[in-house]
Amino acid sequence: MIQLHAVHHHFGERPVLQGLDLHLTERRVGVVGGNGSGKSTFARLLNGLLVPERGRVLVDGLDTRTDARAVRRQVGFVFQNPDNQIVLPTVEEDLAFGLKNLRLPPADVSARVTAALRRHDLEALRHHPAHLLSGGQKQLLALSSVLVMEPRYIVFDEPTTLLDLRNKRRLAQAIHALPQTAIVVTHDLELLHDFDRVLVFDEGRIVLDDVPAVALEAYVRSMA
Ligand SMILES: Nc1ncnc2c1ncn2[C@@H]1O[C@H](COP(=O)(O)OP(=O)(O)OP(=O)(O)O)[C@@H](O)[C@H]1O
């Protein structure tokens, strides 16, 4: 479970998150809201990329302020732009990077990389230069590089923004099939239809928190 207790955050004078109290227990949680409403800031709190100025964020009881390394192993983060995430020249090397950092035995690294390549149909691209992949393939590689670390939670920050319709569907299917808990920040409301819960942000507060049918409809009405 992810818990937020009285979380506040400012950037300079500007309050960006204002008193968030939340328990996330569902497998699929969507996060929507207008530009600048605080969604990405919220997402970055969940794996300790950002520590709140006030309040606490707990992941299965681990505090992002004091247990940052352990939290980062539990919570994977998929960025909007996979170029920010792909660090090594080939697909295979990129997938192995985090596992090698964990100092796993080479046979284990290799087995987990092979399984990850199979899972997303990337086997033929094993030795391909990562920077030459298409946008959709890069996004799947970025997701695979997170999955290969076997986190319990995965946070996605606008994962479909750069994708065409076909790749959007592929990514939606990939998210749908994840055994992990997924928390997805997006402007792509279609992606959230079969989710368990949707949070609607406005000016750093959660103004709606409900099942998608209710939350998304009210959100669309509020934006009209
Ligand atoms: N590192 C930063 N330094 C200063 N201000 C920031 C920083 N990151 C975000 N902000 C500001 O905080 C506010 C909330 O930003 P955030 O990225 O969380 O919004 P968002 O809801 O994800 O928006 P969008 O839908 O446009 O991506 C914005 O006003 C933004 O300019």
DSSP class per residue in the chain? -EEEEEEEEEETTEEEEEEEEEEE-SSEEEEEESTTSSHHHHHHHHTTSS--SEEEEEETTEETTT-HHHHHHHEEEE-SSGGGT--SSBHHHHHHHHHHHTT--HHHHHHHHHHHHHHTT-GGGTTSBGGGS-HHHHHHHHHHHHHTT--SEEEEESTTTT--HHHHHHHHHHHHH-SSEEEEE-S-GGGGTT-SEEEEEETTEEEEEE-HHHHHHHHHHHH-
pLDDT at residue 7 tops 90: yes
User: 210 pairs with which residues across the strands?
Assistant: 198
- Count of C-beta atoms within a 10 Å radius of residue 171: 22
Distance 122 CA to ligand 1 centre (A): 34
pLDDT band at 206 (very low <50, low <70, confident <90, very high): very high
Strand duo 2-11 + 75-78: pairing: unpaired
**Tokens encoding 200:** 């609607």
Sorted by where each starts, the structural domains of the chain and their CATH numbers stand as 2-84+152-223 (3.40.50.300)
In this prediction, residue 202 carries a pLDDT of 96
In this prediction, residue 19 carries a pLDDT of 93
Q: Tell me how far CA of residue 56 lies from CA of 46, 65, 113, 194, in angstroms.
A: 10, 8, 35, 30
Q: What are residue 9's phi and psi, to 5 degrees?
A: -150, 140
In this prediction, residue 195 carries a pLDDT of 96
Please compute the mean of the pLDDT values over residues 56-70 and round it to a whole number.
Answer: 96
pLDDT band at 213 (very low <50, low <70, confident <90, very high): very high
In this prediction, residue 190 carries a pLDDT of 93
Chain position carrying tokens 């996060």: 31
Please compute the mean of the pLDDT values over residues 148-162 and round it to a whole number.
Answer: 92
Distance 36 CA to ligand 1 centre (A): 5
Distance 168 CA to ligand 1 centre (A): 24
In this prediction, residue 135 carries a pLDDT of 84
Q: Is the CB of 186 under 6 A from ligand 1?
A: no
- Minimal-distance CA residue to ligand 1 atom 24: 35
Q: Is the CB of 38 under 6 A from ligand 1?
A: yes
Ligand 1 atom with least separation from CA of 12: 4
Q: Is the CB of 167 under 6 A from ligand 1?
A: no
Distance 170 CA to ligand 1 centre (A): 28
Please compute the mean of the pLDDT values over residues 128-141 and round it to a whole number.
Answer: 87
pLDDT band at 81 (very low <50, low <70, confident <90, very high): confident
In this prediction, residue 102 carries a pLDDT of 84
Ligand 1 atom with least separation from CA of 38: 18
Tell me: the pLDDT tens digits for 10-28? 998 889 999 999 999 999 9
Distance 34 CA to ligand 1 centre (A): 11
Distance 182 CA to ligand 1 centre (A): 21
pLDDT band at 205 (very low <50, low <70, confident <90, very high): very high
- Minimal-distance CA residue to ligand 1 atom 6: 11
Share of the chain above pLDDT 90, in %: 67
**ipTM for the assembly:** 0.96
Note the pTM of the prediction, 2 decimals: 0.92
Candidates 132, 115, 120, 216; CA nearest to 175 is 120
Q: Is the CB of 204 under 6 A from ligand 1?
A: no
